[in-house]
Amino acid sequence: MSEPFLITSEMDNIGIITLNRASKRNSLDEAAIAEIDDYFSNVPSHIRVILMTAEGDHFCAGLDLKEHHDKERSAVDFLRVCQGWHRAFDKIQHGGIPVIACLQGAVVGGGLELASAAHVRIADTSTFFALPEGTRGIFTGGGATVRTAKIISASRMVELMLTGRVLNAQEGERLGLAHYVCNTEDNPKTAYDLGLELARKIATNAVLSNYAIVSSINRIADMASTEGLFAEGLMAAVVQTGGDVQERLSEFVNKKAHKVRPKS
Ligand code: 1HE
């Protein structure tokens, strides 16, 4: 039997998943997508945040081009492959649990589509981003036209795909592909250490707040303003009546809660 694509573990209430196909640069074959789908379909209820990491020097080289070449898929076959990626990555983005991705080396093609489904993306100085599909005679099929274009704009995605241009970590950060760049003078932590630190912090938020943040903001952004404001009101009404809200508000009223301060 072949090695699993995903290694899964837990640290307190944080789920850790590691892409485990470094010899093939964590490229995604059909079995890998099925494992991702399965994990995000069955996240245990005590897990508050998921940290997504990868073995080796590269986060993910995208679609398994060898499998794609060898299978000589028809249009319908590949449409089904794309639907499988969409289903799995939708579960990451809209599953209600914050997902933090630690990105090193190549985050390209379908690897960028996978990272784009995560809610927090942490790069380091080795990270680079590209959408080489246009230069390989293919097209994105794992959600980039929706998720990645929403992050960087459709116009920038068109240019990246036409030219096959590679963005370094800082360029990716400027466009929103990374929220943090680690291993720098300003931020000497590793991406994994920062990821774990943020995961622990995010895990202390109310579960319903996290749910609303990760599953409503992107959806509301797709709505017309009137519907969006209506949906926001409904979401807020549900979150505001959550179990520990009064306790958290009392902490503020009684001057025991932290204050929002500028960075020192
Ligand atoms: C692969 C893949 C892959 C590596 N599918 N096997 N994605 C791409 O176009 C990226 C293609 N990959 C690369 O450009 C490079 O491999 C990397 C920059 C990621 C890494 O370079 P390097 O020098 O560290 O590794 P390597 O020697 O190129 O590759 C090591 C092995 O991984 C080698 O296999 P080996 O059997 O010869 O050892 C490679 O063939 C294998 N490998 N990348 C299969 N992608 C739903 S639509 C999504 C559309 C897409 O994602 S298109 C894919 C875009």
Closest CA to 99 of 90, 87, 108: 90
Q: Which residue is associated with the tokens 């949906």?
A: 231
Are 74 and 22 contained in the same domain?
Answer: yes
CATH of the domain at 165: 3.90.226.10
69's CB contacts (< 8 A; 6+ apart) are none
Please give the distance, rounded to the nearest whole angstrom, from the Cα atom of residue 61 to the centre of ligand 1: 5
How many domains does the chain fold into? 2
C-alpha span between 208 and 216 (Å, rounded): 11
Q: Which of 90, 91, 98 is nearest to 51 (CA)?
A: 98
Q: So what's the pLDDT on residue 164? A: 96
85 is a domain residue: yes
Residues 181, 218, single domain; the answer is no
Residue 133 within any structural domain of the chain: yes
pLDDT for 237-257, tens place per residue?
999 988 888 888 888 889 988
Q: Which domain holds residue 116?
A: 6-203
Parallel, antiparallel, or unpaired for β 14-19 and 6-11?
Answer: antiparallel
Q: How far apart are CA 117 and CA 99, in angstroms?
A: 8
Asked whether residue 133 falls in the same domain as residue 245, the answer is no
Kindly report, residue by residue over 40-65, the tens digit of the pLDDT.
999 999 999 999 999 999 999 999 99
Q: pLDDT of 183-240, one tens digit each?
A: 999 999 999 999 999 999 999 999 999 999 999 999 999 999 999 999 999 999 999 9
| Ligand 1: residue whose CA is nearest its atom 11 | 61
Q: What is the pLDDT of residue 242?
A: 82
Q: Whose CA is nearest to atom 47 of ligand 1?
A: 141
Residue 259 lies in a domain: no
Write the pLDDT tens digit of every residue in 79-126.
999 999 999 999 999 999 999 999 999 999 999 999 999 999 999 999
Q: For residue 35, is it within any domain?
A: yes
Active site residue 173: no
Length of the chain: 264
24 CA from centroid of ligand 1 (Å): 6
Taking Cα atoms as reference points, which of 74, 59, 4 lies closest to residue 26?
59
Do residues 234 and 139 both lie within one domain?
no
Catalytic residue at 159? no
**Is the domain of 223 the same as that of 139?**
no
